[in-house]
Amino acid sequence: MDLQILLLLGQDGITNGAIYALLALALVLVFTVTRVIFIPQGEFVAYGALTLASLQAGKVPGTVWLLLALGTTVAVLDGVRLVREGRFAKLTPLLILNIGLPLLAAAGLFAMPPTQLPLWAQVVVSMLLVVPLGPMIYRVAYQPLAGASVLVLLIVSVAIHVALIGLGLLFFGAEGSRTPSFTDLSFELAGAPLQGQTILVVVASASLIIGLYFFFERTIYGKALRATAMNRTGARLMGIPPTLAGKLCLTLAAAIGAFSGILIAPITTIYYDSGFLIGLKGFVGAIIGGLASYPVAALGAVLVGLLESYSSFYASAFKEVIVFTLIIPVLLWRSLTSTHIEEEEE
Amino acid sequence: MTTITPPNLHQHEIILDVKDLRVAYGKVEALHKVSLAIRRGEIVTVIGPNGAGKTTLLSALMGLLPAEGEIVYMGHAQGREREVESLVRHGMTLVPEKRELFAEMSVEDNLLLGAFDRYRSGHRDQMETMDEVFELFPRLEERRAQLAGTLSGGERQMLAMGRALMAKPKLLMLDEPSLGLAPLIIKEIFRIIGELKKTGVAILLVEQNARAALQIADYGYVLETGEISLAGPSQELAADPRVIEAYLGLGHKH
């Protein structure tokens, strides 16, 4: 064991930790605003990475079919209500948004497989295919149950997770994929090589976290989300609809997930079911922050990344065990120090 | 009490007309055939003892509780599926008994969110509205950067009212604004309610403090065990021996 290995492992840990931090933030966000423990968070990571990989392989990613199916379901659900209430003016934007755009995307992908496009454009296309799934899933699965208990919402989350894994296998196949790296730059740090890709992941995650900070602190929509998390009744009385908050939240969660997937796709091989474990590690970070504190959740997630990286060197067979065992002392510590009284389940 | 109201504000336009409102929690009926009306620029008060159903009444009007009966707001009959959000959009606001502030946000952010729906529907006059609110509640301007959770009881009530005013309401419903406040602060709050009347907003004031409420209101209702037991212009109510006996406590001094 020398300094070089130590640095290399640390680098690896921080790269993974940055990704876990993003996912932990998304989990805290979704939980505080909607009370949903968003198990499918990891699936968005896999979908983001694998959608990009299929685009690069010249295939039409199956994500587009899911987008069409969910979009149609949303359009039918909301459309029936609009027609019953006689609000025909809102019908057109609803149909365009939920059926028109996915159709256009499908047609576009068939007409011109985006293998020729530059990498950044492929990334944008992948995000556009994956991110709308977030609000659509909210509309179809969570919105009708908005008043349900945390446990019921958790069960729904598990169901969505299982469904997305199955669909992932159908869409992307059982083989894993890796995308070409965004940059081939390499530096040297104290004798250890420092990959440009690592720096990219850390910088991109950090910028996204800063961006989210400004969104929540400076924009009225960000404040509305925080307000909903703090006081649901108060927020409703201000005319902040819980459904708007929920959709906005899942849009952010899906974007964070897909973006994380695209970031790590060049570093690790992603399989249709890789997302779950990645998401779960983000979840450990979120638990360290008590599913409430953003900075503690982010730090906890980085800690998870480092712990994972070092334990994979010293005790690689027990890597996952060590990481997930971390949750036990954390829960113990939290339950001993917490003076907070469990809130009533609304 | 200075209530010099310009006559042109009294257009007798009915803002809210409620007929035979019924609310039940399971099989227990909390409100039984309650009817009331509020006109533009008018302060209407509902007084009554604890547990009479006053808060239930406001929650039902605001769409937080399912209710049966006829509710006509701004000339539109409200269906069974009333949504809080659409009522807010049409200018109905509720300052709830528990205030429901955003405790970990600054006073300024709380106020800003009061105008969320106006922002969402394209209005960008939040800063001017906030200045108007600060004019009404100078204390809030001094505390603008402070977290709402650190305010005193009176300041919280002011913030809750200020936040509601940010939506430029047509109907402002206040649930026990005097609850838990010191007498001097209550006086101040009621003075401001009286001032709000001049802006033309209709105010539905639910109070246990019957004396203060009847003093500033134009019309009053007495709600007892879920039913309206008395109604009338507030001066008449204040002189009614039954009200004096039960709520004003001056029965023996005359």
Q: For residue range A176-190, what is the model confidence (pLDDT) as tens digits? A: 998 888 888 888 776
Sheet of B76-77: strand order equals B28-39, B14-25, B68-73, B76-77
Q: For residue range A93-128, what is the model confidence (pLDDT) as tens digits? A: 899 889 999 999 888 888 877 778 888 899 999 999
The answer to whether the Cβ–Cβ distance between A223 and B89 falls below 8 Å is no
Question: What CA–CA distances, in Å, run from B144 to A12, B159, B161?
Answer: 45, 10, 15
The answer to whether the Cβ–Cβ distance between B102 and A233 falls below 8 Å is no
**DSSP string of B171-196?**
EEEEE-TTTT--HHHHHHHHHHHHHH
Question: Considering only alpha carbons, which residue of chain B is nearest residue A218?
Answer: B109
Query: Higher confidence at residue A88 or residue B43?
Result: B43
The answer to whether the Cβ–Cβ distance between A231 and B114 falls below 8 Å is no
pLDDT at residue B174 in the model = 97
Q: For residue range A1-55, what is the model confidence (pLDDT) as tens digits? A: 688 888 889 988 999 999 999 999 999 999 999 999 999 999 999 999 999 999 9
Contact partners, residue A139, CB within 8 Å, separation at least 6: A74, A77, A78, A243, A247
**DSSP string of B132-146?**
HHHHH-HHHHHTTTS
Contact partners, residue A283, CB within 8 Å, separation at least 6: A23, A24, A27, A41
Question: Considering only alpha carbons, which residue of chain B is nearest residue A221?
Answer: B116
Q: How far is A95 from chain B (nearest CA, A)?
A: 21
The answer to whether the Cβ–Cβ distance between A223 and B119 falls below 8 Å is no
pLDDT at residue B160 in the model = 97
Question: Considering only alpha carbons, which residue of chain A is nearest residue B91?
Answer: A239
Q: How far is A241 from chain B (nearest CA, A)?
A: 6
Cβ atoms of B93 and B173 closer than 8 Å: yes
Q: For residue range B204-253, what is the model confidence (pLDDT) as tens digits? A: 999 999 999 999 999 999 999 999 999 999 999 999 988 888 888 754 44
Among A223, A233, A241, the residue with its CB nearest the CB of B113 is A223
The answer to whether the Cβ–Cβ distance between A239 and B88 falls below 8 Å is yes
Q: What is the ipTM of this complex?
A: 0.89
Q: Tell which residue, B166, B139, B141, B168, has the closest CA to residue B155.
A: B139
Q: With an 8 Å Cβ cutoff, is A183 touching chain B?
A: no
DSSP lists the bridge partners of residue A177 as: A270
Question: Considering only alpha carbons, which residue of chain A is nearest residue B97?
Answer: A234
DSSP letter, residue A9 = H
The answer to whether the Cβ–Cβ distance between A227 and B105 falls below 8 Å is yes
**Residue B142, Cβ neighbours under 10 Å: how many?**
12
The answer to whether the Cβ–Cβ distance between A230 and B103 falls below 8 Å is yes
The answer to whether the Cβ–Cβ distance between A231 and B102 falls below 8 Å is yes
Q: For residue range A192-247, what is the model confidence (pLDDT) as tens digits? A: 778 888 889 999 999 999 999 999 999 999 999 999 999 999 999 999 999 999 99
Q: Tell which residue, A126, A43, A133, has the closest CA to residue A141.
A: A133
* Contact residues on chain B for A220, CB-CB shorter than 8 A: 112-113, 116, 119
Percent of chain A having pLDDT more than 70?
97
Contact partners, residue B102, CB within 8 Å, separation at least 6: A226, A227, A230, A231, A234, A235, B109, B110, B113, B148
The answer to whether the Cβ–Cβ distance between B112 and A220 falls below 8 Å is yes
Return the CATH number of the domain spanning residue range A3-58+113-337.
1.10.3470
* Contact residues on chain B for A239, CB-CB shorter than 8 A: 84-85, 88-89, 116-117, 120, 167
* Contact residues on chain A for B114, CB-CB shorter than 8 A: 238
DSSP letter, residue B55 = H
Percent of chain A having pLDDT more than 90?
64
Mutate to test the interface with A, among B83, B100, B123, B147 (most CBs of A within 10 A): B100
Angle among Cα A325, A331, A334 to the nearest 5 degrees reads 145
Using pLDDT thresholds of 50, 70 and 90, give the confidence band for residue A340.
low
Question: From the centroid of its chain, how far is CA B166?
Answer: 14
- Residues (pLDDT < 50) of chain B are 1-10, 251-254
Q: How far is A56 from chain B (nearest CA, A)?
A: 39
- Give the β-pairing of B14-25 and B68-73: antiparallel
The answer to whether the Cβ–Cβ distance between A223 and B94 falls below 8 Å is no
Q: How far is B54 from chain A (nearest CA, A)?
A: 18
Give the A:B interface size as CB pairs under 8 Å.
64
Q: Which residues of A121-133 are buried (b: 16+ CB within 10 A; e: fewer)?
A: ebbebbbebbbbb
Mean pLDDT of chain A: 90
Q: What is d(CA A107, CA A101) in angstroms, rounded to the nearest whole number?
A: 10
Contact partners, residue A194, CB within 8 Å, separation at least 6: A11, A186, A187, A188
Contact partners, residue B137, CB within 8 Å, separation at least 6: B158, B159, B161, B162, B192
Q: How far is B220 from chain A (nearest CA, A)?
A: 25
H/E stretch holding A160 reads helix A150-172
Among A224, A233, A241, the residue with its CB nearest the CB of B113 is A224
Mutate to test the interface with A, among B81, B85, B95 (most CBs of A within 10 A): B85
Domain map of chain A by residue range? 3-58+113-337
Q: Which of residues 199-238 of A touch B (CB under 8 A)?
A: 220, 223-224, 226-227, 230-231, 233-238
Mutate to test the interface with B, among A217, A238, A240, A244 (most CBs of B within 10 A): A238
On the question of pLDDT at A156 being above 60, the answer is yes
Q: For residue range A275-318, what is the model confidence (pLDDT) as tens digits? A: 999 999 999 999 998 888 888 999 999 999 999 999 988 888 88
DSSP letter, residue B160 = H
Alpha helices in A99-149 (DSSP H): 101-111, 119-130, 133-137
- In chain A, the N- to C-terminal Cα span, in Å, equals 53
